[in-house]
Structure 1
């Protein structure tokens, strides 16, 4: 019985002999040497590589400032603090995201308010956002889902009209552009993540890009216990050994080890993203005629960083549900995934009083999406194995129109 469970859908041999994950990091010898350099130096935690990494990221995305954090969630928390979100404030975000996009609001005792998604792009729908604004609304957190930028013009128009702050969750979107502008140069604050499956990695890590000096200064202080060594901000200064804690901050600092790896990885970002684009274009070309699935949307003026490649199963054209298709693809040794479970479906949010039915488009999407493997280390054989497996499984479960 155990052997039967491992068989592919038609009882034959799987398309692949070896498991292919949906994403993974690419580290080469230059990355390893960059870390060794730090390990041999004087600083492991807060040292010169952090400010260098911040400067290089800011320069790349076109922002005045960048503040590195220990991870993307910590960076979002810092952004919510800098935005002044506090007890009772409402912040509008999307449910089709990782939980951190909403958790950062809760960390500041604010209330996440979930707007529905655009059924074409799967990004937050500005019309839904507009309908949810109340006197308590303080900010909007759009998410550039899969690396495809949200409708930032509409979101910023709404934010300007209602005096709201835009914190862009661009965890997927390092290198993406919106109407000719790099993501990271547009919103009040923009977060990028450097988790191993992201477009570049620092192991764990995140960063906030901003053009606002006030936000920048708050972020710097917040990530390091609320402590300052700036003489102009102290009540007294008895010596250069002295420092003052001005607010209740956190230990959210990135290490020099992480930053050095990030500097090395950043040099290869454009190549990595080109490879991601190449894989996505092959998928688009080879899968476009399968009527049982919908491929990712494209739009003029948007350049995705292709962090994820998400297909949508046309439920009316297949004999089984999405989960059975996932199981079949996994038996072909593909590490397919689902991005994402609507945030308010999670038990913790249900315990806060959120109920299913809030965002119909997001909930319908969730039942039908599958994330295919996409990362720069994939070979052409890997890519065509994915294509072959998808065709095989979808054809097997397709409803015949004969």
Structure 2
């Protein structure tokens, strides 16, 4: 057993009772509680619409498919992301084109976007990733790519909790895609959502998440409802259930406290790790980081990671760049895989330390001590 696990989920105290209530209600799939959660999450973000779906991966794929681009159209994306974000582009029958990142912030910049456009030509769309919770200005990147904002899909799996110019990420997005996976800032276990200002997109996504059906089961089986429905546009099975929704509602009420703790822990890491030899701290924006991850850079990551493991400290790496994975390297081709040198350099050094609301000061101090010991005497 690890002394300090990499992650331990936290659940609001009233989540269990809410789940039992749904189970006893006789309706556990997509229904009124899922709709209520969508409204609550939209209010939290300040977004016009939220459509809850099965995963963030599904949210990205559905948002791309809703753009109705010609098959094979080029979609810009960073490679320092989870593989499913690029998989969503391929599954939507589109073509990923890689964007390199800034070595300090770990996210694309207008310059790296412009460089990708010069290399590969003007894209049809772009997926923007708020890596680790670092807020990205999607409008700036869209302008650098020569795209309207309605061609930008934002991967906000590492939020919510992030801010851009003082407003929650997703409050003014065409398609901001969130994750509620067990390790995320708003952990439900599974689930995702798309926040949008566009009512037409929201309506299409609501149908597309249920095979494209014009009426979901709740509407069909209400008193006076009809079993008749149509499928006007092909969709997929990607709905969000009432069981997930009531956990999400409870977690949403607890989110401010959980976010406050993440910020406290990140500040403690900053203060304790500053100046350690061979280690670089994560870059802080002026404001708005959601602190989903605390990623340090290590010149000798393998040796340090082994030492931490021997000390009972759980760690992870976010991420193996997508173009380094066998199936994606084959799909992208050698020229595309060679186009992101900064990503390749940074990826060899990144290590994610434990960071979650349930992490105590005492446990975090064990992480800090073990890391300092592993780095003792190493050259800067």
Q: Which runs of 4+ in 1 moved over 4 A?
A: 159-164
- SS at 2:27's partner residue? coil
Paired position in structure 1 for 2:220: none
CA offsets, 1:357-387, max 9 Å, x none?
3211111001111100000001111111111
Residue 18 of structure 1 deviates from its aligned partner by: 4.0
1:195-274 counterparts in 2 under 5 A? 195-229=181-215, 240-274=226-260
Quick check: 1:148–1:173 contact (8 Å CA) kept in 2?
Answer: no
**Alignment partners' CA distance in 1, 2:209 and 2:93:** 18
Match of 1:308 among 293, 298, 306: 293
**Alignment partners' CA distance in 2, 1:110 and 1:162:** 18
Q: Does 1:38 align with 2:22?
A: yes
Paired position in structure 2 for 1:284: 270
Worse-superposed segment, 330-339 or 157-166: 157-166
Quick check: 1:115–1:125 contact (8 Å CA) kept in 2?
Answer: no
CA offsets, 1:143-199, max 9 Å, x none?
111111123342132356567611110100201101112101132110110001001
**Alignment partners' CA distance in 2, 1:312 and 1:383:** 18
Quick check: 1:357–1:363 contact (8 Å CA) kept in 2?
Answer: no
Q: Does 1:116 align with 2:116?
A: no
**Alignment partners' CA distance in 2, 1:28 and 1:247:** 38
- SS at 1:312's partner residue? strand
- Return the index of the structure with the highest Cα Rg: 1
Residue 135 of structure 1 deviates from its aligned partner by: 6.0
Quick check: 1:194–1:206 contact (8 Å CA) kept in 2?
Answer: yes
**Alignment partners' CA distance in 2, 1:309 and 1:219:** 33
1:120-199 counterparts in 2 under 5 A? 120-133=104-117, 137-158=123-144, 165-199=151-185
Quick check: 1:138–1:164 contact (8 Å CA) kept in 2?
Answer: no
**Alignment partners' CA distance in 1, 2:259 and 2:371:** 23
Paired position in structure 1 for 2:318: 339
Paired position in structure 2 for 1:56: 40
Quick check: 2:124–2:147 contact (8 Å CA) kept in 1?
Answer: no
Residue 328 of structure 1 deviates from its aligned partner by: 1.1
Q: Structure 1 length normalisation: TM-score?
A: 0.87
**Alignment partners' CA distance in 2, 1:90 and 1:190:** 20
**Alignment partners' CA distance in 1, 2:127 and 2:51:** 18
Paired position in structure 2 for 1:364: 345
- SS at 1:245's partner residue? coil
Residue 45 of structure 1 deviates from its aligned partner by: 0.4
- SS at 1:229's partner residue? coil
- SS at 1:208's partner residue? strand
Q: Structure 2 length normalisation: TM-score?
A: 0.92
Quick check: 1:105–1:111 contact (8 Å CA) kept in 2?
Answer: yes
Residue 34 of structure 1 deviates from its aligned partner by: 1.2
**Alignment partners' CA distance in 2, 1:97 and 1:85:** 23
Match of 2:87 among 103, 107, 116: 103
Query: Which segments of 5 or more consecutive residues in structure 2 lack a partner in the other structure?
Result: 217-224
| Structure 1 residues 28 and 174, CA gap change in structure 2 (3 angstroms) | closer
Equivalent pairs, count:
368
**Alignment partners' CA distance in 2, 1:163 and 1:131:** 19
Quick check: 2:66–2:204 contact (8 Å CA) kept in 1?
Answer: yes
Paired position in structure 2 for 1:377: 358
Q: Does 1:322 align with 2:307?
A: no
**Alignment partners' CA distance in 2, 1:213 and 1:130:** 31
Quick check: 2:33–2:246 contact (8 Å CA) kept in 1?
Answer: yes
CA offsets, 1:75-128, max 9 Å, x none?
111111122244111110111110111111101110111100011100112212
Q: What's the C-alpha RMSD, in Å, of the aligned pairs?
A: 1.8
